[in-house]
Amino acid sequence: MRPLFLVFLLLVSAQCAAQPGRPSLGASTDRRAQKLFDEAVAQYGLRDFAAAEAACTEAIERDPAFFDGWMLRAQLREDAARWGEAYADASSACRARPDLVGAWHRAYLVRLAFRAGAYAEAVAALKGLGAWQPPAESERPAWELLTRSVAFADSAVRSPGPTEAVPLPGTVNTPAPEYYPALVLEGNRMLFTREVQSNRGRQEDFFWAEKRTDGWEVTGPAVGVNTSAGNEGAPTLRGDGRMLVFTACEEPGYGYGPREGQGSCDLFEARWVAEAGRFGPAENLGLPNSRAWESQPSLSADGTTLLYVRSGRDGEGRRWQDVYIARRGENGRFGAGQPLPGPVNTPMNEENPMLHPDGTSLYFASDGHPGFGGMDLFVSRLQPDGTWGDPVNLGFPINTAADENSLLVAPDGRVAYFATDRETPGNLDLWMLDLPEEVAATPQRALTGRVFDATTREPLAAEVELRREDGAFHARLSSDRADGTFALPLPEVGSLRFTVDLKGYAFYSAAVAAAEFREQAVEIALERWKVGTTLTLRDVRFATNSAELAATDQAELDQLVALLAPGRERIRITGHTDATGSAAVNLDLSARRAATVRDYLVARGIDGARLVAEGRGAAEPVATNETPEGRALNRRTEITVIE
C-alpha cells in the first residue's frame, strides 16, 4: 500500500492557493517554517530530494510540532528506503499532533514500522486500527499481505533459527562487487559475476573459482563469453559445467554487441568446447525470449528444464515480474516459456529462481508472500501433479527487514551461497550459511563417468538417464561427444535405475546408489548390437522364488522392447539363478523366467519367431555364491543376438 501523502499535500497546496486563508490542519504557525515547507514541496516536485529534505529538517527545527513537516520528511526518507528514519519521523508527527492522527496515519505507521524491522511496534499500531481496511478496494490485497506479514515476522523473530552466515573464504571477494554464483554438480567449481572496469566504464564479467582446502580460489575469467564492452550476468550451469545460460542486455550505442537480441534483456546459451578448454560462441536461446525482459535463469542439473524471470508492463502501465519455466525439446532447443504453475507467482515481484539439483526444491526471492519486509527468500517443492507448492519462508535470520536475494544452494542441500553488502554497504560480496533442515534440499552427489565403444574405445554421445524405483524420471542428458563424459545428480539416500542407451548398441542398465560412487567415475563400455553380442539384464523384477513378474515398473524390459522393435534379428533369452536350492528347481525356475520374458516381449509386439527362451539354472555363475552380492549378480537374464 503506497502512501499518497505527497499527492495529498499538493492537493492541499492547490486548495490553499485558490482559497487563501484556509491552511492545512497540519500547517505551521511559524511563517518561516511554513515557507521552508513550501520550498521542500517544490524541490520534491523538481526531484531534488536532498534539497527537499534539508528544507524539511530546517522547518521541523523551527517548529517541532509541525505535523506536515514531519510527514513530508518521512515520505522523503521512505523514498530513499531509510525505513527506520521514516518511521521515527511519522511517529514524531503523531506524537506532536495526536488530534490530527487518523486511520490512514496509523496504517502508515504500521507499514513503516514493519519495513524498519520494528515488528512489535507494527503489531501495536495494527491493533490500534482494529478491522480497518483501505477505502480503495484496489489497495486491500496489499494491506492484507502487510497485516499477514506483520504477524508472521513478529512471531518468527522471537524464535530465530540456528543459522549464522559468514563471508566466503578465499580470494573471490574483492573491493569490487561479486554476486550471482553458479556451481557444478561436484560442488568444487564456481562461476560468479564480478563488476570490472572497461573502456566503457563499469561492466559485468564472469570468473571461475575452485574449492581448495582453505577456501575458494579465483582461477581466471570465463574465456569465450566475456565481452570487452557488454554486460554478462546471472549465470547458471548444467551440472557437468558444459552448458552455460546467462543474461545479456541491450546497451545504448552498443546493442547486444556481437550477439542477436530480441528484447531489453535476453537469455543466451554457450557450450563448453572441451578440446579448447573454453566456452564457444553464445547463441540467443530463442523461444523463451520475447520482447519483454528475460533474466535470472536457472538450469536443472541435466539441462532439460529452464526457470527464469520475465518482466513487463500490463495495459495500464503496471510492471509485473514472474517466474517462467521452459522445457528442452527433442531437437535440443527450448520451447516457449510458461508462467510457473502453482502459487509461487504473485501480483508483486518474484526474482532469482534457483532449481536445486534434486529437481524438486525451488528457491526464489519475492515480496509477494508473507515475510520480513522487502524481498525475502523462499522455498517451494514440486508436487505430484507437476505444480509447485506453497512457498515456505526461509525464516530469520536468513531473511531480515532488508532485501535478500540471489541464493544458491549447493548439491549437498544444506550449504547456501548468497550476495550481500552487510559488511561493506554498497559493495556486494559472496557469503555462505547452513540452511535449517526444514528448508534444506535433498542431498545429491554427482554421478560422473564416461561412455565409450567397447571395441574401439572411442567416446560416444549416448543418452544417460536416471529413473526412480517407480519409473518416474529423475534426470537425463547426452554424454559429451568429444570425450564421452557425463554428470548427473544422484540422491545420497536410496538408489535409482541408471541406463545408457545409443542406437546401434546394446544398452546398459543397473541400479545405482550414491555410496557406490563417492571416489570413482563409472566407465560404461557399450557393445555394438550385432550377432554374438550378449546383453545382461539385472533388473527384471520377478516375485520371490517365482517366474511371475512383480506388479511394478519393468523399465528394463520396456527398454529391451525399444531396442528390438525396429530390427529383425533373432535373440536367445537365457535365465540364470544363484546356487541357493536344488539344481533341478533352479533349472526349472530359470527356464520359466526366460519364458516369461519372451511372453512379455511378444505381448508388446515383438515377433515370437525371433525369440528363443532357455534356462541354465546355476550352472554358469559370474560371481561367487558365497555372498549376497555375488548371488545377486548370478541372478540375471541374458539376451544374446544369435542371427
* Phi-psi domain of 293 (left: phi exceeds 0; alpha: psi -120 through 50; beta: other): beta
Same structural domain for residues 279 and 222?
Answer: yes
Give me the pLDDT at residue 255, please: 63
Residue 26: pLDDT over 70: yes
Strand arrangement of the beta sheet that strand 189-198 belongs to: 178-183, 189-198, 201-212, 215-221
- Judgement on whether residues 50 and 148 belong to the same structural domain of the protein: yes
DSSP string, 89-149: HHHHHHHH-GGG--HHHHHHHHHHHHHTT-HHHHHHHHHTTTT---SSGGGHHHHHHHHHH
Distances (CA, A) of 301 to 131, 356, 563: 48, 8, 27
181 vs 408: CA distance, rounded Å: 7
Q: Which of 121, 156, 191 is the last residue of a domain?
A: 156
Q: Look at 290 and 421; give whichever has higher pLDDT.
A: 290
Q: Please give the pLDDT value at position 541.
A: 85
- Give the pLDDT confidence of 359-405 residue by residue, as tens digits: 999 999 999 999 999 899 999 999 999 999 999 999 998 998 888 88
Q: Are residues 277 and 298 in the same domain?
A: yes
Contacts of 362 (CB under 8 A, 6+ apart): 307, 344, 353, 354, 355, 356, 379, 380, 381, 382, 388
User: Do 469 and 538 belong to one domain?
Assistant: no
Co-location of 432 and 448 in the same domain? no
**One domain for residues 430 and 492:** no
Mean per-residue pLDDT of the chain = 90
How many C-beta neighbours within 10 Å does residue 164 have?
8
Total domains present in the chain? 4
Q: Range of 9's domain?
A: 5-156
283 and 432 together in one domain: yes
Do residues 15 and 139 share a domain? yes
pLDDT-based confidence at 256, cuts 50/70/90?
A: low
Shared domain check, 411 and 287: yes
Most confident of 133-147, 268-282, 349-363, 504-518: 349-363
Place of cell 535440443: 332
Query: Is residue 426 situated within a structural domain?
Result: yes
pLDDT band at 251 (very low <50, low <70, confident <90, very high): low
Question: What pTM, to 2 d.p., does this model score?
Answer: 0.88
Indicate the residue among 439, 467, 501 that finishes a domain: 439
Question: For residue 612, what is the enclosing H or E element?
Answer: strand 611-615
Residues 115, 128, single domain; the answer is yes
Examine residue 524 and state whether it is found in any structural domain, yes or no: yes
Residue located via cell numbers 538417464 = 465
Catalogue the E-assigned strands of 39-94.
none
| CATH at 455 | 2.60.40.1120
Put residue 217 in one of left, alpha, beta given phi > 0 → left and psi -120 to 50 → alpha.
beta
Closest among 60, 10, 72, 12 to 33, alpha carbons compared:
60
* Cα dist from 341 to 8, 386, 439, whole Å: 40, 8, 20
**Band of pLDDT at residue 257, cut at 50, 70 and 90:** low
What pLDDT does 517 receive? 74
Report yes or no on 115 lying in a domain: yes
Residues in the chain: 643
Same domain, 12 and 90: yes
Same-domain pairing of 482 and 500: yes
Per-residue model confidence as pLDDT tens digits over 213-230: 999 999 999 998 888 766
Q: Is 161 part of any domain? A: no
Which range, of 86-95, 194-203, 551-560, averages the lowest pLDDT?
A: 194-203
For the segment 10-22, the average pLDDT, to the nearest whole number, is 40
The pLDDT score that the predictor gives to residue 284 is 92
> pLDDT per residue over 534-561, tens digit each?
999 988 888 888 899 988 878 889 999 9
